[in-house]
Structure 1
Amino acid sequence: MASFSPSDGHVYCFVCKLFSKTRSQFTHGGYCDWKNAAARLVEHETSKNHLNATTHFAVRSKEKGCVDQELVQQAESEAIYWQEILKRLISVIVFISERGLAFRGEKQVFGSPRNGNYLGILELIAEYDDFLDKHIKNNGSCGSGNTNYLSSTICEEIVQLIKKKFLMKLSLESSSKNTIPYR
């Protein structure tokens, strides 16, 4: 598993650099004798040290997973978190829109009896939904510049996206009704 370093123009063995207990050109300093590179790489890859390092790497990968596995899991977990928040927000927005209700009240603050239907319904759901409750408590009053998807700006953007999707659906339905089937 050779890796080329553009900064110094040398080849290193990735696995040996991480797991080999011996020093060689492929672990320290790098290899750059290009005339003999093919033969030396084959010689290195069949050496006992390289095979031991490769085995150690394979065992560690199987036991612990990839080096970035924890980061991948964290990113997936965060994506699921935001999807769950958006599901709840979209449900509230659709509910309010279908009934033709006003979204905002006099105050745009959680906890205020005059915060409007959008924030009020989110507060009501949060009384029974621990996930949403925790999100509102942690992010509901953090101000601009922080991602929370609870602001009136995001609400308006979601309304516009739903409207666009609804109008597209209407357009497709009306165009399919106006076509004459081929016989």
Structure 2
Amino acid sequence: MGLDYRFVTVIPNEHRERMYEYIKNNGALFDSGCTVIHFPMDSFILKYLEGGYDWKPHYDQEEIEKHIEPDGKASIGCIYIKEREQPGGELEVSLTAATTDMSLLFRDSFSISKWFVQMSIELNSILTYLDKEDDGVRILFYQGAPVQLDLSSDTHLGNLRDRFLPLVQDFARRYEHFEDR
């Protein structure tokens, strides 16, 4: 089985319709639970469109042009959307890559990460992160502010819930700038 990286955002339940409007304004939604999002082009997106994550890139200009919108943005999809109600009136929405190559694109593209941060700002997201399965997580947004917190390792991190809180607590105890002066 391939990689299934996903961006996850937690939003107030009342912002559900705004989220779908935001996605529609930046791409297309389909009844199948799939979306195509138009992301600003960057070198990683171009690499992806050229088949650069595959063992044999195709460099087919005609194929690449099918995915470039008139405004220069790249259409990336199918991205699967799934919702899960959370306690306290929150909604967790995951946008999952359809292929391993798309998962690698999610991991690498600065443009895609910035798009999710912008969406998080627009929707007043509580938390937005990239779930890289056993390879860790990259937190992009937390309570009104962009952040860059990458929890990853050369070995599988396993259950982040068991490892993350002690890691942050240990760091907070030892980081000198958290001390009152």
Q: Same fold per TM (> 0.5)?
A: no
Greater helix share, structure number? 1
Determine which structure has greater relative contact order: mean sequence separation of CA pairs < 8 Å that are 6+ residues apart, divided by chain length: 2
TM-score, L = length of structure 1: 0.22
TM-score, L = length of structure 2: 0.22
Q: Which has the larger radius of gyration?
A: 1
Greater strand share, structure number? 2
